[in-house]
């Protein structure tokens, strides 16, 4: 026999000879390389070319009852600003026509707006948007379901925003009332000052226009009542906001507003009581000064509330995501190694199977 | 003749039978192969030669019977035993996409040869006349060249026991003769060979020859023994000057050492072919007879029938017997 290498090395020699043989055989069969090696990579390449990392935009046509309704007018504004995934493809009153266009692939989605939205809501029911699609891919169907939820939430949010900003407008009207109240207080203050000067010059027994003073006082009282009504809802809103998200230590602004209004009413009552008492003019002037301060405070806190963007009142929260990982990968970079390993595994198994079959055939 | 001892017995097959489904391909084959022998197995296509070889190397398990090769059951061969055996299959079992040299290298690696093998591989390729073709891909070789490559790969690790399944198929006669010269040389170096062949003439190169037909081993004999069994004895050709008459033929047939029938060799009636017990003793006796009958003998010699004729006779006899 020819000299053989030591037993422990024979295993490695055999394995390396076998691997070399397999490699040479594979490399010399270009068709095999093309189908088994290049083929899967080509398929992967085509898959990668077709893969989209961003959300698909849907061409949407809207169907409504009346092209001239207020809803139709709102639709133009909303549809073009709702988000990049919705492409406004027009509006129509004909549902059948819209669905035909959907079947032909001219649009991706048909959105039928609800009728009589106002009456529906007043009847304690939700107004329903019907969305029609022509997808059979379950993933696309799920996408459209999510799309519908996201965009209806956005519409709801915009409606709430609108109502909130209307509330803020009401509140801005309180500013006029405060101004009027302050004017009355100022006028009363000037009247009382004149009375005090007259009294100082003429001594006791001099007459002051107490009727006019009373009128100013009553006007103040009336303005205070109006103010109280106007800011009542906002007081409740503020109370709720502070109850849910306040720190629990400082006095809520809403409570302070309530206290301020009570103080204003108390001061007005004291002005009414001392209206005929000329000796109390100084005390009254002092009361008026405090009342003016109260009105300023009220005005300042209302202005703070008016300065809050309605978007924040409707959506007080947003998220920001940060990663503490030291590296960030794109989707392709992250999954590429696993896909390559999978492909290699496929190749190894295929070639091993081919080799076994060939060896068997050769006997 | 002494029975071979266990040390000398390299292959021992008893009652070997192989069936594929209901078809019996090999039936009740019995033979022994001793160390240093060449045993040839001859027979037509489909007679069961390849199946027998495959059982001997462990590719097939026998349906009935048992085999011992180098003291071990072929199905339980260890790598160590396989390293002592060389097997050349009937089909080309090397790799078409590798070159001649790469195939040889691969075979050498599988048998665990050292890396310093270049000289050995080159010698073998020269022996099979494939030296100039070592860079050719195996799939571009002719059928005969593939057989030669296959043989070279079988011999690469210089095994002590060789199973060669039709090693000379598709080889030209000159190269075929060279192969047998090499086999003889291997035998002198102590190698034992088991060779199957369709060329019945190659039986002359073997120490013992097994004749297979229809899955059965008809006999195992030496080449001379085969001739004797085919014709019932040894054959002598005799040529006389005078024409031999019918009564002469009758007299000859009655001689004790002559087997019937006596056949004429030519139309002139001067040539005869006789089957005798032993040619060496029969020829002088025939010379004496001619002298006693006043017949002038021109020539007398032992006739060695070609193995093709031997084989045909043997198969015919076997068919008649069965």
Residue A307, pLDDT score:
79
Cross-chain Cβ contact B84/A1 below 8 Å: yes
For domain B9-228, give the fold.
Answer: Rossmann fold (3.40.50)
The residue among A11, A21, A33 with the most chain B CBs within 10 A of its CB, best to mutate, is A21
CB pairs under 8 A between A and B: 63
Cross-chain Cβ contact B117/A362 below 8 Å: no
| Over residues B201-206, mean pLDDT | 90
| Over residues B28-45, mean pLDDT | 93
Query: What does A17-36 look like in DSSP terms, one character per residue?
Result: HHHHHHHHHHHT-HHHIIII
Within 10 A of A127 (CB to CB), how many other CB atoms are there? 14
| Over residues B212-229, mean pLDDT | 90
Rounded CA separation B315/B110 (Å)? 41
Rounded CA separation B116/B139 (Å)? 27
The structural domains of chain B, with segments of one domain joined by +, span 9-228, 232-306
| Over residues B3-28, mean pLDDT | 86
**Lowest-confidence pick of A2-6, A60-64, A98-102, B136-140:** A2-6
Does position B3 have pLDDT exceeding 60, yes or no? no
Task: Give the confidence band of B137 by pLDDT, cuts at 50, 70, 90.
Answer: very high
**Lowest-confidence pick of A39-48, A240-249, B107-116:** A240-249
Measure B97 CA to nearest chain A CA, in Å: 5
Cross-chain Cβ contact A1/B95 below 8 Å: no
Cross-chain Cβ contact B112/A24 below 8 Å: no
Nearest CA to A79 out of A151, A24, A18, A130 is that of A151
DSSP H helices in B32-142:
49-57, 79-83, 100-110, 118-127
- Only one residue has tokens 């006796």, namely B285
Per-residue b or e along A238-248, where b marks 16 or more CB atoms closer than 10 Å to that residue's CB: bbebbeeeeee
Reported as a single tens digit per residue, the pLDDT across A150-199 is 888 888 888 888 777 776 766 677 778 888 888 888 888 888 888 777 77
Reported as a single tens digit per residue, the pLDDT across A287-305 is 888 888 888 887 887 777 7
Residue A129, pLDDT score:
87
Chain A residue nearest residue B102, CA to CA: A21
Predicted TM-score (pTM) above 0.90: no
- Burial class from Cβ neighbours inside 10 Å (0-12, 13-18, 19+) for residue A347 reads middle
Nearest to B158 among A2, A17, A24 (CB): A2
Rounded CA separation B165/B52 (Å)? 10
Residue A104, pLDDT score:
93
Residue B322, pLDDT score:
67
Nearest to B97 among A2, A17, A29 (CB): A29
A30 touches chain B (CB under 8 A): no
Is residue A108 reached through a cis peptide bond, with omega within 30 degrees of 0 on the bond before it? no
Chain A residues with CB under 8 Å of B158 CB are 1-2
Residue A59, pLDDT score:
93
Chain A residues with CB under 8 Å of B93 CB are 362-363
Reported as a single tens digit per residue, the pLDDT across B77-108 is 998 899 899 999 988 889 999 999 999 999 99
Nearest to B98 among A7, A21, A362 (CB): A21
For strand A109-112 and strand A58-63, is the pairing parallel, antiparallel, or unpaired?
parallel
Residue B208, pLDDT score:
94
| Over residues A128-141, mean pLDDT | 88
| Token duo for residue A45 | 């390449």
Chain A residues with CB under 8 Å of B110 CB are 14, 17-18
CA distances to A47, A111, B126 from A147, rounded to whole Å, are: 24, 12, 78
| Over residues A210-225, mean pLDDT | 79
Residues 6 or more apart from A298 whose CB is under 8 A from it? A178, A227, A257, A260, A261, A264
Cross-chain Cβ contact A14/B110 below 8 Å: yes
Cross-chain Cβ contact A363/B114 below 8 Å: no
Cross-chain Cβ contact A16/B84 below 8 Å: no
Q: List residues of chain B with CB under 8 Å from any CB of chain A.
A: 54, 59, 83-84, 89, 91-95, 97-98, 102, 105-106, 109-115, 117, 120, 137, 156-160
Does position A203 have pLDDT exceeding 70, yes or no? no
Residues 6 or more apart from A47 whose CB is under 8 A from it? none
Chain A residue nearest residue B160, CA to CA: A1
Rounded CA separation B138/B156 (Å)? 17
Report whether B175 contacts B19 (CB < 8 A): no
Per-residue b or e along A315-344, where b marks 16 or more CB atoms closer than 10 Å to that residue's CB: eeeeeeeeeeeeeeeeeeeeeeeeeeeeee
- For chain A, the maximum distance between any two Cα atoms, rounded to a whole number of angstroms, is 150
Report whether B228 contacts B254 (CB < 8 A): no
Backbone φ, ψ for residue A324 (5° rounding): -100, 5
Report whether A91 contacts A72 (CB < 8 A): yes
Report whether A56 contacts A85 (CB < 8 A): yes
Query: What does B66-85 look like in DSSP terms, one character per residue?
Result: EEEETTB-GGG--HHHHHTE
To the nearest 10 degrees (0 to 180), the angle between helices A331-362 and A39-50 is 160
Residue A278, pLDDT score:
56
Helix or strand (DSSP H, E) at B13: strand B9-20
A17 touches chain B (CB under 8 A): yes
| Token duo for residue A276 | 């005929």
Measure A356 CA to nearest chain B CA, in Å: 13
HEC string of A32-87 equals HHHHHHHHHHHHHHHHHHHCCCCCCCEEEEEECCCCCCHHHHHHHHHHCCCCCCEE
Reported as a single tens digit per residue, the pLDDT across A231-269 is 666 667 666 666 666 665 555 566 677 777 788 778 777
Cross-chain Cβ contact B93/A1 below 8 Å: no
Residue A61, pLDDT score:
93
Rounded CA separation A8/A290 (Å)? 104
Nearest to B114 among A3, A20, A24 (CB): A3
Rounded CA separation B238/B263 (Å)? 11
| Token duo for residue A75 | 């639709």
Does position B23 have pLDDT exceeding 50, yes or no? yes
Residue B51, pLDDT score:
95
| Residues 256-285 (A) with a CB less than 8 A from some CB of B | none
Cross-chain Cβ contact A28/B97 below 8 Å: yes
Mean pLDDT over each residue of chain B, to the nearest integer: 90
Q: How many helices (H) and strands (E) does chain A have?
A: 13, 4
Chain B residue nearest residue A8, CA to CA: B112
Rounded CA separation A59/B231 (Å)? 100
Residue B1, pLDDT score:
45
Nearest to A1 among B93, B110, B159 (CB): B159
Long-range contacts at B247-251 (CB < 8 A, ≥ 24 apart) = B248/B293, B248/B295, B251/B289, B251/B293
Rounded CA separation B164/B124 (Å)? 16
Chain B residues with CB under 8 Å of A18 CB are 110
- Only one residue has tokens 């295929």, namely A350
Residues 6 or more apart from A60 whose CB is under 8 A from it? A79, A86, A87, A88, A89, A107, A108, A109, A110, A111
A308 touches chain B (CB under 8 A): no
Chain B residues with CB under 8 Å of A4 CB are 83, 111-114, 157
The residue among B60, B83, B112, B155 with the most chain A CBs within 10 A of its CB, best to mutate, is B112
Does position A283 have pLDDT exceeding 90, yes or no? no
- Burial class from Cβ neighbours inside 10 Å (0-12, 13-18, 19+) for residue B20 reads exposed
| Over residues B28-32, mean pLDDT | 94
Cross-chain Cβ contact B114/A4 below 8 Å: yes
Cross-chain Cβ contact B98/A2 below 8 Å: no
Greater model confidence, A255 or B76: B76
CA atoms within 13 A on the CB side of A232: 6
List, edge to edge, every strand of the sheet that includes B208-213.
B64-69, B9-20, B23-34, B216-221, B208-213, B38-42, B192-197, B161-165, B85-88
Rounded CA separation B183/B193 (Å)? 8
Chain B residues with CB under 8 Å of A21 CB are 95, 98, 102, 106
Cross-chain Cβ contact A4/B112 below 8 Å: yes
CATH class of B232-306: alpha beta
């Amino acid at each position: 026999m020819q000299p053989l290498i030591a037993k422990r090395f024979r295993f490695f020699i055999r394995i390396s000879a076998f691997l070399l043989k397999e490699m040479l055989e594979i490399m010399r069969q270009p068709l095999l390389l093309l189908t088994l090696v290049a083929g899967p990579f080509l398929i992967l390449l085509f898959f990668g070319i077709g893969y989209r990392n961003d959300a698909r935009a849907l061409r949407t046509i809207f169907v409504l009852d009346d092209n001239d309704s207020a809803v139709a007018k709102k639709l133009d504004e909303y549809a073009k600003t709702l988000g990049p995934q919705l492409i406004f493809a027009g509006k129509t009153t004909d549902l059948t026509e819209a669905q035909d266009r959907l079947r032909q692939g001219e649009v991706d989605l048909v959105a039928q707006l609800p009728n009589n939205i106002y009456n529906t809501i007043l009847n304690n029911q939700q107004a329903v948007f019907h969305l029609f699609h022509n997808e059979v891919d379950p993933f696309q169907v799920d996408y459209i379901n999510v799309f519908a939820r996201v965009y209806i939430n956005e519409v709801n949010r915009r409606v709430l925003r609108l109502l909130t900003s209307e509330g803020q407008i009401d509140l801005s009207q309180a500013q006029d009332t405060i101004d009027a109240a302050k004017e009355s207080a100022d006028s009363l203050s000037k009247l009382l000052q004149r009375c005090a000067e007259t009294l100082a010059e003429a001594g006791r027994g001099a007459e002051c226009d107490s009727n006019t003073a009373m009128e100013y006082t009553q006007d103040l009282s009336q303005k205070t009542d109006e103010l109280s009504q106007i800011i009542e809802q906002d007081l409740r809103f503020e109370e709720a906001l502070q109850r849910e998200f306040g720190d629990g230590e400082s006095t809520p602004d809403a409570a302070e507003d309530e206290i301020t209004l009570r103080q204003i009413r108390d001061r007005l009552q004291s002005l009414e009581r001392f209206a005929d008492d000329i000796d109390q003019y100084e005390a009254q002037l002092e009361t008026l000064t405090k009342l003016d301060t109260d009105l300023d405070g009220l005005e300042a806190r209302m202005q703070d509330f008016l300065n809050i963007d309605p978007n924040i009142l409707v959506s007080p929260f947003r998220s920001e995501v940060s990663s503490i990982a030291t590296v960030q990968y794109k989707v392709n970079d992250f999954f590429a190694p696993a896909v390559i390993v999978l492909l290699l595994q496929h190749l190894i198994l295929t070639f091993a199977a081919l080799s076994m079959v060939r060896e068997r055939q050769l006997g | 003749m002494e029975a071979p001892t266990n040390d000398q017995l390299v292959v021992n097959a008893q009652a070997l039978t192989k069936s594929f489904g209901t078809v019996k391909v090999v039936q009740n084959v019995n033979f022994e192969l001793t160390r240093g022998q060449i045993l040839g197995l001859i027979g037509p296509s489909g007679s069961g030669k390849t199946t027998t070889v495959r059982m001997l190397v462990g590719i097939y398990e026998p349906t009935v019977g048992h085999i011992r090769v180098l003291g071990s059951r072929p199905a339980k061969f260890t790598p160590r035993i396989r390293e002592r055996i060389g097997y050349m299959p009937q089909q080309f079992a090397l790799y078409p996409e590798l070159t001649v040299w790469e195939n040889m290298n691969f075979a050498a690696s599988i048998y665990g040869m050292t890396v310093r093998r270049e000289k050995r591989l080159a010698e073998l390729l020269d022996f099979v006349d494939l030296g100039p073709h070592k860079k050719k891909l195996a799939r571009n070789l002719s059928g005969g060249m593939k057989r030669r490559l296959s043989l070279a790969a079988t011999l690469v690790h210089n095994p002590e026991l060789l199973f060669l399944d039709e090693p000379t198929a598709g080889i030209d006669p000159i190269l075929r003769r060279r192969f047998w010269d090499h086999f003889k040389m291997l035998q002198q170096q102590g190698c034992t060979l088991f060779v199957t062949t369709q060329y019945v003439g190659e039986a002359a190169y073997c120490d013992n020859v097994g004749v297979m037909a229809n899955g059965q081993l008809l006999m195992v004999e030496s080449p001379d023994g085969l001739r004797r069994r085919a014709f019932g004895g040894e054959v002598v050709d005799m040529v006389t000057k005078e024409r031999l008459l019918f009564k002469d033929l009758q007299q000859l047939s009655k001689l004790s050492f002559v087997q019937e029938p006596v056949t004429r060799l030519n139309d002139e009636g001067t040539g005869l072919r006789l089957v005798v017990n032993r040619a060496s003793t029969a020829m002088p006796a025939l010379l004496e007879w001619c002298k006693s009958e006043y017949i002038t003998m021109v020539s007398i010699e032992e006739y060695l029938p070609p193995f093709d004729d031997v084989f045909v006779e043997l198969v015919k006899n076997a068919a008649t017997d069965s």
